[in-house]
Amino acid sequence: MATAAAGVMASSIAQARPASGGKDKGDYDAIIVGAGFAGLTAARELKRHGYKVLILEARDRIGGRTYTAEFDGKPNDMGGTWVHWFQPHVWAEINRYGVELEESPGNFADDVIYLDEAGTRHHAKLSERGAEFYGPVQTMFADARAIMPRPAEPFADPGWIAADTISVADKIAASSLTPEARILAATIFAASSGGAAENVSWVDIVRLVALSGYSLELESDVVSRFKLKGGMRSLYSALADDCGATIELNSPVATIETTGDGVRIIGTNGKAWSARAAISTLPLNTLKDVGFRPPLPRQKLDVSVEGHAGKANKIHILIEGERPIFTAWAPGTGPSPINHMFWDGAANGRTHLIAFGSGDHPLRIMDKGEVQKVVRQFLPDAVVVDVKAHDWNNDPYSRGAWCISRPGQISKALKDLQAPHGRIFFASGDWASAWRSAIDGAIEQGITTSRALHRLLTGN
């Protein structure tokens, strides 16, 4: 999406907007670091108040950790895909811009291929055995409402913070699950988190289910059934067109500095910009990579240095032959680096699969031969024709996939992560109050943080 050598994008109304009330102390009223959903939303909200806004984006595209690319002749999401009406912020944007939905039927196929802990392949039909798999796993959330009675308002009843002491692995080990239910539990939690079970907070999984009406079945619908026609770029491009900001691509930031009644931002190329205030949308795992002056409080910096546990790999795979619809499971503690794989369409003699696994389990995600070996754990005769993925874990501007907390990590740091630092505000789905780790959470943060910045600039 880069346009011209300078890498500048601007909406038609971004060119001539005056600074608010003539009080501009720099080039802009606000500079936003990052053109993902949090940054684009914040810019659009600030536009309503007439502010002059610049967005600096390190990559050569907008979208942040949501990214739509071409695969098998059509748009497919390398990052960010599923949405739901249980997610109020993203649902409002879908309605605002008239984006249509389509389903991912493979996620809910009746035919299941699953591996046990030893790697042995099994087959099942959910129409016959669904209760056997899902019923016991739902019982693991019997106390979810008591732990998190108001999951979208984390500080209204903070009892969940004290409860955040165990990992997913601890919870599974303490549960009286059948072998089949244990496989499903280990699969669902690995696919939901993208992290190793021993590194993932159990309470963070409880949060996802609590936000979904305390139902594991509904949580599966929310996070994996409905996607956008044309991919996620149909929404983030509409938001960018509407945000009214100038967007400079290929503009990674080196330092963000508070300077009395303004801020100064210096790029890695030495270029400098100034504004009355700034919003950083840097992901949690990259906060530590940018210099802040004065330095960030230890409560913010330490959690970035530690890093969250989300290391998911998402791989689009094209295999020979038109396969019938199916879904595949493998426990995160088992021998496969893929925990969840499912049918996403079949045409022209080929089948499109989408696979998820954790970066904690090594896999060269763009190596067709290596991916084929893993696919054959589920489909022994599969021939992989093509693969496509984005390595979020080694991307310097993300250093991980969606955010999932380690035990006791983000629960104890959430207030600090959301707090401003002088005239610098922080907006990221990584520390959203509700749908943390989701697009909805990023939009939430763009809205709330832009409101806080507006209050600073107006003194209200």
The reply, when asked if residue 128 is annotated as ligand binding, is no
Can you tell me the distance from the alpha carbon of 49 to that of 412, in angstroms, rounded to the nearest whole number?
34
In terms of C-beta distances under 8 Å and separation of at least 24 residues, what long-range contacts does 260-267 make, across chains too? 261/25, 261/423, 262/25, 262/26, 262/423, 263/26, 263/31, 263/422, 263/423, 263/424, 264/26, 265/31, 265/33, 265/56, 267/56
Phi, psi of 192 (to 5 degrees): -70, -30
Q: How many residues comprise the chain?
A: 460
Can you tell me the distance from the alpha carbon of 30 to that of 35, in angstroms, rounded to the nearest whole number?
14
Strands of 359-418 (E only): list them.
Answer: 384-389
Can you tell me the distance from the alpha carbon of 347 to that of 341, in angstroms, rounded to the nearest whole number?
18
CA distances to 45, 112, 380 from 108, rounded to whole Å, are 37, 9, 22
Can you tell me the distance from the alpha carbon of 327 to that of 61, in angstroms, rounded to the nearest whole number?
32
Bridge partners (DSSP) of residue 83 are 226
The conformation of residue 63, written as its DSSP 8-state character, comes to: -
Instruction: Identify the CA nearest to 401 among candidates 410, 392, 409.
Output: 392
The reply, when asked if residue 57 is annotated as ligand binding, is yes
The reply, when asked if residue 71 is annotated as ligand binding, is no
Which amino acid is present at 194? G
- As given in the structure block, the two tokens for residue 215 are 């139902």
Rounded-to-10 torsion of CA 403, 409, 414, 418: -60
Bridge partners (DSSP) of residue 246 are 10, 54
Can you tell me the distance from the alpha carbon of 38 to that of 232, in angstroms, rounded to the nearest whole number?
14
The reply, when asked if residue 356 is annotated as ligand binding, is yes
| Matching residue, tokens 């303004």 | 262
- As given in the structure block, the two tokens for residue 390 are 């984005």
Q: Which residues are annotated as a binding site for substrate?
A: 356
Q: Which residues are annotated as a binding site?
A: 57-58, 253, 356
Q: Which residues are annotated as a binding site for FAD?
A: 57-58, 253
